[in-house]
Chains A and B, each alone.
Chain A
Amino acid sequence: MALSREQMAQRVARELQDGFYVNLGIGIPTLVANYVPEGMEVMLQSENGLLGMGAFPTEDTIDADMINAGKQTVTARTGASIFSSAESFAMIRGGHIDLTVLGAFEVDVAGNIASWMVPGKLVKGMGGAMDLVAGAENIIVTMTHASKNGESKLLERCSLPLTGAGCIKRVLTDLAYLEISDGAFILKERAPGVSVEEIIEKTAGKLIVPDHVPEMQFA
């Protein structure tokens, strides 16, 4: 079985470490916040200028001046700080974020990522994604392994305009967890009940399959 969105978030959450400053993109990455392990403290950065994003507000505490990068109303947790967009991207570009999680349309064996533009369709903009991938050392991309038409999103070379070049080392899809190294995807884990053959079939870029590929475990 392919992983659900919640399971993908759960799997990413295992990469969190106590004391991490983390930027979570829109979609599945946002769900990671729900799976921070008990007793672990992480600080979520929202690129509109908030470090220490808290839960959504209640009806009584909703405040138009308190939003996240997805433009959702949020709260600030204890110990949060709020600052300008220039300060926010100084943190991001300056490599101060410990982990960045974001979605993508395509990733390739060179660590290139395409996530913002499909030629012929209306281009809405890259927002902060280009800064995030350029600035972070530790990035996890979350996406489905193949499109709805069954076309692989893990490619030899991205076909869409890039968001960043050579910056992605780790990808979690609904079928597998992979690392990118020396011009190939390396299959590290597979989703429960998903065969290595299916992953091979749905990976267009060069794939290295170790002798043993453990199955992800979920409680």
Chain B
Amino acid sequence: MAGFDKRVNSYAEAMAGLSDGMTVIAGGFGLCGIPENLIAEIKRVGARDLTVVSNNCGVDGFGLGVLLEDRQIRKMIASYVGENALFEKQLLSGELEVELTPQGTLAEKMRAGGAGIPAFFTATGVGTPVAEGKETRQFNGRDYLMETAIVGDFAIVKGWKADWYGNVIYRHTAQNFNPLAAAAGKITVVEVEEIVAPGELEPTQIHTPGIYVDRVILGQFEKRIEQRTVRC
């Protein structure tokens, strides 16, 4: 019981405490490495007015796209949202607010959030619409924008394997934003394909140390492919 054992047995337990108006950071790139069951649980719970931070917003009917169906997302912070007709409709009707953020800046905002750094300077976006309203400073003769960190009330993460203590390993390019999201959540929930006993994961191979993780749950995954391309 308890100690460092982060395992929970139901998705309801995994997302307990989620409420209206919260900020949720989600790992994933496109549909690769998305916490698909945790997203589905947010839909089931029905929390509204959410700010969702994720590189993309899923597709119609899958991934974060399902949270648009009942208008649960008030604001989306993402780098690319082009794969989703419902997103487009809600954006044009003004029901949904979007803050487009360069991909590297988005990654660093999450990383900074998890690392206790409130803001950082980057050359990305200088001279573009992204720079509007942001402080600019010169270092070594070049202009840089100040970008602020993001911390989530919840971070939802998809891992490959985790142990009871919440140490996580990601599989291939399903890593993407997941370790950054994991560190940036006040409550971090990780769903994985396999849970193993402590000691079974090689310590030097851990991507996300358990200190960042609050809850671990075992899931079944569809792993939908967005662009199926094969060698001819």
Cβ-defined contact, A89 with B126, below 8 A = no
For the complex, give the distance between the alpha carbons of A55 and B229 in Å: 10
Instruction: Say yes or no: is A102 at the interface (Cβ < 8 Å to chain B).
Output: no
Chain A residue with Cβ nearest B207: A84
Interface residues on B, range: 35 or more
Q: Which one, A8-16, A119-127, A141-149, A181-189, is touching chain B?
A: A119-127
What residues on A are CB-neighbors of B175 within 8 Å? 49, 82-84
B228 near A93: Cβ-Cβ < 8 Å: no
Contact B124 A135 (CB under 8 A): yes
A82-100 interface bits toward B, Cβ cutoff 8 Å, 1 = contact, 0 = none: 1111101100110000000
Chain A residue nearest to B100 in the complex (CB): A125
Q: A49-B175, A122-B88 are in contact. Are A112 and B127 (CB under 8 A)?
A: yes
B229 — which chain A residues lie within 8 A by C-beta? 56-57, 72-74
Give the chain B neighbours of A50 by CB distance below 8 A.
Answer: 173
Contact present for A84 and B180 (CB under 8 Å): yes
* 127-176 of chain B: CB within 8 A of chain A: 127-130, 160, 171-176
Chain A contact residues, majority secondary structure: loop
CB distance B79 to A86 under 8 Å?
no
For residue A48, CB closer than 8 A to chain B, the reply is: yes
Interface residues on A, range: 35 or more
Give the interface centre of A48, A57, A59, A84 by most chain B CB atoms within 10 Å.
Answer: A84
A125 to B228 Cα, complex, angstroms: 22
A123 to B33, CA, bound (A): 25
B72-95 to A contact mask, C-beta < 8 Å, 1/0 = 000000111110000010011000
Cβ–Cβ contact A85 & B223, under 8 A: no
Q: Do the beta carbons of B176 and A162 come within 8 Å of each other?
A: no
Cβ–Cβ contact B176 & A93, under 8 A = no
Quick one: which of A87-139 are within 8 Å of B by CB? Answer: 88-89, 92-93, 112, 117, 122-131, 134-135
Cα A56 to Cα B79 with chains together (Å): 25
Instruction: Tell me, rounded to whole Å, the shortest Cβ–Cβ distance linking B15 to chain A.
Output: 24
Q: Annotate B20-56 by CB proximity to A: 1 below 8 A, 0 otherwise.
A: 0000000001111100000000000000000000010
A68 contacts across to B, CB distance below 8 A: 173
Does B104 count as interface, using CB distance less than 8 angstroms?
yes
B220 beta carbon closer than 8 Å to chain A: no
A122 nearest CB neighbor, chain B only: B88
The answer to whether A71 and B125 touch (CB under 8 A), given A84-B179, A89-B104, A125-B100, is: no
Of B129, B172, B231, the residue contacting A65 (CB under 8 A) is: B172
Measured CB to CB, the nearest residue on chain A to B80 is: A125
Would A165 and B227 count as touching, CB distance under 8 A?
Answer: no
Q: Kindly state the separation between the CA atoms of A89 and B177 in the bound complex, as whole angstroms.
A: 11
> Smallest distance from the beta carbon of A68 to chain B beta carbons, Å?
8
A129 / chain B contacts, CB cutoff of 8 Å = 102
Compute how far the CA of A49 lies from the CA of B178 in the bound complex, rounded to whole angstroms: 11
CB neighbours (8 Å) of A164 from chain B are 126-128
State in angstroms the CA–CA spacing of A124 and B125 once bound together.
16
Given contacts A66-B172, A125-B79, A125-B81, contact A130 B128 (CB under 8 A): yes
Query: What per-residue 1/0 map shows which CB atoms of A36-71 lie under 8 Å from chain B?
Result: 000000000011111000011111001111111011
CB <8 Å contact, A64 and B223: yes
Within 8 A of A (CB), among B102-119: 102-108, 110-111
Q: Are A134 and B125 in contact (CB under 8 A)?
A: yes
Residues of B within 8 A of A125 (CB): 78-82, 100
Does B230 sit at the interface, judged by CB under 8 A? yes
Task: Please indicate the chain A residues that have their CB under 8 angstroms from the CB of B130 in the complex.
Answer: 126, 130
Task: List chain B positions with a Cβ less than 8 A from chain A.
Answer: 29-33, 55, 78-82, 88, 91-92, 100, 102-108, 110-111, 122-130, 160, 171-180, 207, 223-231
User: 21 A-B residue contacts at CB 8 Å?
Assistant: A46-B173, A48-B29, A49-B29, A49-B176, A57-B231, A58-B231, A62-B230, A63-B172, A64-B31, A65-B160, A65-B174, A67-B30, A67-B32, A71-B31, A71-B226, A86-B111, A93-B122, A125-B80, A131-B102, A134-B125, A164-B126
Interface residue ranges, A against B (CB under 8 Å): 46-50, 55-59, 62-68, 70-74, 76, 82-86, 88-89, 92-93, 112, 117, 122-131, 134-135, 161-166
